[in-house]
Chains A and B, each alone.
Chain A
Amino acid sequence: GENVEQHPSTLSVQEGDSAVIKCTYSDSASNYFPWYKQELGKRPQLIIDIRSNVGEKKDQRIAVTLNKTAKHFSLHITETQPEDSAVYFCAASMEGNNRLAFGKGNQVVVIP
Chain B
Amino acid sequence: DTAVSQTPKYLVTQMGNDKSIKCEQNLGHDTMYWYKQDSKKFLKIMFSYNNKELIINETVPNRFSPKSPDKAHLNLHINSLELGDSAVYFCASSQGGVREKLFFGSGTQLSVL
Q: Which residues of A contact B (CB under 8 A)?
A: 32, 34, 36, 38, 42-46, 49, 87, 89, 93, 95, 98-100, 102, 104-105
Give CA–CA (A89, B44) in the complex, Å.
12
Given the interface pairs A43-B90, A104-B40, the reply to whether A93 lies near B56 with Cβ below 8 Å is no
Q: Among B40, B55, B97, B99, which residue has the most Cβ atoms of chain A within 10 A?
A: B99
Interface residue stretch chosen among B18-26, B64-72, B74-82, B104-112: B104-112
In the bound complex, do residue B42 and residue A100 qualify as a contact, i.e. CB atoms below 8 Å apart? no
In this complex, what residue of B is CB-closest to A104? B42
In the bound complex, do residue B41 and residue A104 qualify as a contact, i.e. CB atoms below 8 Å apart? yes
In the bound complex, do residue B41 and residue A105 qualify as a contact, i.e. CB atoms below 8 Å apart? yes
Give CA–CA (A98, B106) in the complex, Å.
22
Chain B interface, number of residues (Cβ within 8 angstroms): 21
In this complex, what residue of A is CB-closest to B97? A98
Give CA–CA (A105, B39) in the complex, Å.
12
> CB-CB < 8 A to A38: which residues of B?
41
In the bound complex, do residue A44 and residue B98 qualify as a contact, i.e. CB atoms below 8 Å apart? no
Interface membership of B45, Cβ < 8 A = yes
In this complex, what residue of A is CB-closest to B105? A43
In the bound complex, do residue B104 and residue A99 qualify as a contact, i.e. CB atoms below 8 Å apart? no
Interface membership of B101, Cβ < 8 A = yes
Contact with A along B22-48 (1 / 0, CB 8 A): 000000000100000000111111001
